Amino acid sequence: MKRIFIALGLCVLFIITSCTKDDVLDRYTTDMYGVLVEYWHNDNGSWSTTDHTYNYRIVLNGNIRWDDTGTEFVILCNTQNVTFEQCFFKVFNISSDMIDTKEFVVVEMRSSLLLNSDNTLIKQ
């Protein structure tokens, strides 16, 4: 009888631990350099923020006029047609006809330009 209870307890423990398995492969938090939005890589290959799930993570490199060292944007998106300029406009709130966050979100920015804690830009 004691063996049955032990076996039953082990089965319940196995079921509980397998149900709480973390499906996140990598997590990027805002306390990491350049990360603007917390996001993670799911075990099914998709990428997520707290609001949306995306199919792709893309790194775009280019130059901003006043930053001659080059800038790198990391984006999550559902289409591979996002340009460096669209990321620039989105980060700096230049365009009023911005692409919806459901289409893409800029999650990281690395440059000689830095972001303050309130996400305003300062020159390094």
- pLDDT (tens digit, 9 = 90+) per residue, 84-105? 888 888 877 765 454 556 788 9
CB 68 within 8 A of CB 34: no
Q: What is the pLDDT of residue 21?
A: 41
pTM score, two decimals? 0.67
* pLDDT band (50, 70, 90) for residue 76: very high
Q: What is the pLDDT of residue 25?
A: 82
* pLDDT band (50, 70, 90) for residue 121: low
CB 36 within 8 A of CB 108: yes
Q: Tokens 């406009």 label which residue? A: 89
Question: What gap in Å lies between CA 119 and CA 108, rounded to an integer?
Answer: 12
Identify the CA nearest to 107 among candidates 40, 25, 22, 23. Answer: 40
What residue ranges do the domains of the chain occupy? 23-123
Question: What gap in Å lies between CA 64 and CA 77, rounded to an integer?
Answer: 22
CB 43 within 8 A of CB 23: yes
Phi first, then psi, for residue 11 (nearest 5°) are: -65, -45
Question: What gap in Å lies between CA 109 and CA 123, rounded to an integer?
Answer: 14
